[in-house]
Structures are given as C-alpha cells and as structure tokens.
Structure 1
Amino acid sequence: MTTTIEPPAVEAPALGLHTDLTNEAYHADKTSLSSSGARKLLPPSCPAKFRYEQDNPPAPTKTFDYGNAAHKTVLGNGPKLILVDHDAWTTKEAKAEVADARAQGGIPLKRHEMQMVKDMADAIRRHPLAAALLDPAYGAPEQSGFWIDEASGIRCRVRFDWLPSIQGGRLIIPDYKTTTDASDDAMQKDIAKYGYNQQADWYETGARALGLGDQNAELLLIAQEKKPPYLVNVIGIEFGSRVIAGAKNRVAIEKFAECMSTGNWPGYADHEPNYLALPGWAENRDKEIYL
C-alpha cells in the first residue's frame, strides 16, 4: 500500500542558523528533513510512517514529558513546567488542571516530578565535564539550522540542544539524553536502537554546512539517568560508527528527495511479497538440531 499525502504549505524558515526560532516553528517545516526524520524513513520504519507521524504528532507520554522537563531545567529553554499538585490525576479536578497545563503549551508535573528534574539539573552541574559543556556563560540552548544538501537539493534541518558561543576551531556539540541506564553497555545498545550514531553524523554535517567551527565538529551525548543519584555519562561516537551512519543518512536523504518529488510515501511491500528467512541465530540453531 502506498500513502500519498501532500505536506501542508508553510513558510519555511530561511537558510542558516536561527538563535530564537521556536520549537513549534522548527517542527512545522515539512519541506525539510531532520535527523529523527531520516531515521524514521529507514527500516525497520518506512516513509509511510514518517509522513503519518509528521501529519499526526503523537500525544504526549510521561516519558516524553520527563525528557522535555529535564531539558527545560538542565538547558534553561523549553515549555513551562506547571505543578499539578494532586497525588493522583484521576479526579475530575486534576484532569482539568492537566488539560489546562497542556492547553498553555506547558508540561504538567506532580510535586515529586518537579523535584526530580531539579535534582537532575543539580547533578549535571556537579559533573565536571557535563557542567563545562553546558556552561551558560559559554553557550546557549535550542538553536536551529537549515541548509541545502548539495547532492540532492533538498532542505535539511537540525535543532542543536546546545551550541558553544565561541565557534572558532573544533566545535563540540553536546546533546542531552535522559535514560533509565546510562552505563556504557546500555548506551551502546541505545546507539544502535535509536540511531544516535546517525544523529551524530547529521549534527556534525549540519555544523559544517552552517559554517560552525572547523571541519572537525563532534557531537557528544550527555546521558543522564532518571533515578537517584541521577548518574551522568558523557559519550562520544566512534569514527567507524559515524561512517556507517553517514551512509545511512545519505540513503535517507535520497529517499526523502524521491518521496517529495513523486508525492508517494511507500509502506513495507507495495507490489510484491517480501520473502523472509529465519533470523541468523535461529537458522543456525535449527540446522544443528534438525538437519
């Protein structure tokens, strides 16, 4: 099945770096491709899912709220945090306050959740490397960039969590992530699961295209756990993983260009069946037992 949906007409932000563009205006540009969009275009997802989610943003979840609230307290920019001071949000009064908070564009939180994100921000400030990377004296949060990919001619975009104010020489781009487990083993799995290596390549490519720093820009993940003691792990992506990511991003860009040109956003299998084998581990297991 092929989904054909034309993106709505919006006035696209100008090319270049924007220091004061709202998050809503950034995401409203359906004519450009972001890092998260590039990942959504590729398997195990597909263009049909990418376009549907662009036109039908998912409802907020508690995990999403926690991440945005932590970004607000740690980075100093984001939706207003609104206390809904009820132990349970199942009453009519509590539900009305939650709805009102969301109508204001804010994030409703319980009292202990307010304390949690405050404690997370305090833990970041106590971490020597994370605190240095996010020092408000030497940088600013939530800056957006738009550029043209020369090979395909499409518009690309990026929203940096944080950019240093001094952008000469080698640029270090910190990106803040909240997680249940920030250990090396867990984050290595998350890099594969969420495509953080693709994000690193995308952001570094964007920085170069926007003329930020020299040609050696590097993204560092600042991963923080959401339970006490709110441990922090600053993680770089190895070169080989970013090379693979660059190849994947190139495929995504070309796929986006084709879909934009044709207006077709295909799903899994449109015209012929997909023939699938057993997973490699299962095939090897069963060969030894049965063949």
Structure 2
Amino acid sequence: MTLAPGIYRDLSDADYHADPCDHPSLSSTLARTLLNQSPLHAWTAHPKLNPDFEPVIKKTFDIGTAAHSSILGRGGDYRAVPENLLGSNGAASTKAAKEWIAEARAAGITPLKAAEVDQIGEMTDIAMKRLADHGVTLDPEHSETVVIAEINGVPCRAMVDNAPPDPDQPLYDFKTCENAAPDACLRAVMKYGYDVQARHYLDCWKAVTGEDRVFRFIFQEKSAPYEVCVVELLSDTLMMASKKTARAREIWGNCIRTNYWPGYPDGVVSLDLPEFFHGKWLERESADADHKQRYGRDVLDAVGRWQAPAAMAGE
C-alpha cells in the first residue's frame, strides 16, 4: 500500500504503523527518537527500514489501547479473557488462557480481564461527561484520522486521534496516565516530548489542508476517580517545538539520502553535570555549616545520637 499526501479516515491502525507512504516516512515517535536518541534507533524502529523489525507489545499498553478505542469510538477491539480459562487465582496463567490471548492479539484484539473491561467502561463514562463539560464532542467518524504529508521534500505521517471537520476546532490527542494534574501533565510533556508530537501533527495538517489548527491533549487517569485534564500548549512552546521538528526532518532527510544511520558518538564522552545539580550539594553544605555554627556540633552527630539504640528505645 502506498498513499499520496492527503487525509485518510479509514486506514487501519496496522496499515498506518506499517507506513503506507511511498518512501520511509517520519512520524512524531520517530522524530522524538531521532532527537532524543539517534538515527540508528529510528532506523531500528522503522518497519520499512529494519528487515528484522517487530512491533513492541506490552501488557502495560493494554488499558491505554482499550480506553483509546472506547473513548474515540474507533480502533482495535478489546475483550475479556473467558473466566473459565483463568487459573484458580484468577490469573491468565493457564495454557488455555495464554493460547486465547495469543490468538486475540494476532487478530488485533486487546485481551483484558473482566474487571479491566469494567474499568474501561467507567473511564469512558467519566471522560465523556468531563469532555461534555468542556464543550468537546469526539465524533467517531473523525477519530484516528491519518495525515500523509510531504514537508520540504520529507515524507511525514501522523494519526490524529480526533480531527473535527470544523477548521476552527482543535485537533485532539488522547492519553492515559497515572496522574492528570496540570503539573503532572507538564512533566509528561517534557519527559515524553509531547511538544514535538503536537508540532509534528500541526505541521502535517497544515501541509495538506493549509489550516492553522489548535492542538489539545486529553489526559485521563487510569485509576479512580479517572479524572480528566485537557491541555493546550502555548505559542512559545510550539514555536520552540517547530525548531525541533524542523531539525528532525532535516536529519531524517539526510539519513534517507545517504543511507547513513549513526548511533551515539564514538569514543569517550565527557560530561559536565548542570549547575542546578551542583547547587543542591552546595545548599546542603551551607545548611550543615550553619547547623555546626549554631549548635557547636556536626549535624551528623545529632543524627547519630537520635538513631542510637538507647535513644530509639526512649531511654
């Protein structure tokens, strides 16, 4: 399958991840891999470049995958492992259960326990209510919209979780997490490079449609109360992210043209830890010196006496 630049609403998840472009294309995940690791890591993770490529399947992804399908109304199916196949302790450890799970995954079905299926139902109900409070409706007809674009001669692709047809509406990406508090969402954006994801999606969308859209993340917790936080990155963050996506495309284009995919630098790498790291130790030194000047003894002496057996026994 090879697709020309455009918007596609009926492409399967498997076909998208297999890369439906004429030439190996750059996704947001690969862009982050290029920037945070190396071209060699990106080559290894690309199904058209690496002849030994195998998709990564982890049990930890299952709740997120199933919630994604349920809330967006499109995507792979999920089902509970039949209880009669489970072990006496309720674990999917029997031969029959393992065979059922393997067959389900081969068919593109996410295997869950019955309690996890109920959990997905609760998450969906709460997400829909909270999104309605924000005036957000996720139309399944516009979920998992695939964008194939060419930007500065570099083939790019993105799968937008939900792309309302109204150009005044944002593009949405849904993510499950442990903590959806705003500060935790901020840390997740920095840790996982979601700023690059947002900019890559917006770049692809504009290259095909000419539209300047807003981009929002929907974070939902995977444990009760399954709270939801909708996040929009501000313009300064997206401007900086545009520098990163441009650099990722430049690296990708060069590697494709030269077929040279370097890993980490050769030789010994010299590292100097940042000032804030050294600052923590300097703060501790200052506090210890202040304690000694004020009380006439080292802080370690006070800690040692407090931890002594006699002190701990209350003697």
Normalising by structure 2, we get a TM-score of: 0.80
Per the alignment, residue 110 of structure 1 pairs with 113
Change (3 A) 1:72 1:128: closer
Per the alignment, residue 223 of structure 2 pairs with 227
Per the alignment, residue 73 of structure 2 pairs with 76
Per the alignment, residue 250 of structure 1 pairs with 246
Q: Distance in 2 between matches of 1:286 and 1:74?
A: 47
Per the alignment, residue 10 of structure 2 pairs with 20
Per the alignment, residue 59 of structure 2 pairs with 62
Pick from 180, 201, 204 the counterpart of residue 202 of structure 2.
Answer: 204
Per the alignment, residue 236 of structure 1 pairs with 232
Q: Is the 8 A contact 2:131 2:137 kept in 1?
A: no
Question: How do 1:40-59 and structure 2 match up within 5 A?
Answer: 40-43=33-36, 45-54=37-46, 55=50, 56-59=53-56
Question: How do 1:96-175 and structure 2 match up within 5 A?
Answer: 96-129=99-132, 132-136=135-139, 140-150=142-152, 153-167=153-167, 170-175=168-173
Change (3 A) 1:143 1:130: farther
Q: Is the 8 A contact 1:223 1:233 kept in 2?
A: yes
Per the alignment, residue 268 of structure 2 pairs with 273
Normalising by structure 1, we get a TM-score of: 0.86
Percent identity over the alignment?
33
Q: Distance in 2 between matches of 1:242 and 1:135?
A: 24
Structure number with higher strand proportion: 1
Change (3 A) 1:130 1:234: farther
Residue 196 (structure 1) shift: 1.1
Pick from 90, 94, 98 the counterpart of residue 93 of structure 2.
Answer: 90
Q: Is the 8 A contact 1:134 1:174 kept in 2?
A: no
Structure with larger RCO (C-alpha < 8 A, sep 6+): 1
Q: Distance in 2 between matches of 1:183 and 1:23?
A: 29
Q: Distance in 2 between matches of 1:46 and 1:130?
A: 42
Pick from 32, 40, 50 the counterpart of residue 39 of structure 1.
Answer: 32
Other structure's SS at 1:33 match: coil
Change (3 A) 1:211 1:127: same
Q: Distance in 2 between matches of 1:177 and 1:128?
A: 14
Could you tell me which runs of 5 or more consecutive residues in structure 1 were left unpaired when the two chains were aligned.
1-10
Per the alignment, residue 4 of structure 1 pairs with none
Change (3 A) 1:245 1:285: same
Residue 143 (structure 1) shift: 1.0
Change (3 A) 1:81 1:239: same
Q: Distance in 2 between matches of 1:141 and 1:135?
A: 7
Structure number with higher helix proportion: 2
- After superposition, the C-alpha distances for 1:231-264 in whole angstroms (9 at most, x for unaligned) are 0111110111111111111111101011111111
Q: Distance in 1 between matches of 2:33 and 2:55?
A: 14
AA aligned to 2:93 is: T
Residue 277 (structure 1) shift: 1.2
Q: Is the 8 A contact 1:81 1:107 kept in 2?
A: yes
AA aligned to 1:164 is: P
Other structure's SS at 1:164 match: coil
The number of equivalent residue pairs is 271
AA aligned to 1:61 is: K
Q: Distance in 1 between matches of 2:133 and 2:106?
A: 33
Q: Is the 8 A contact 1:46 1:266 kept in 2?
A: yes
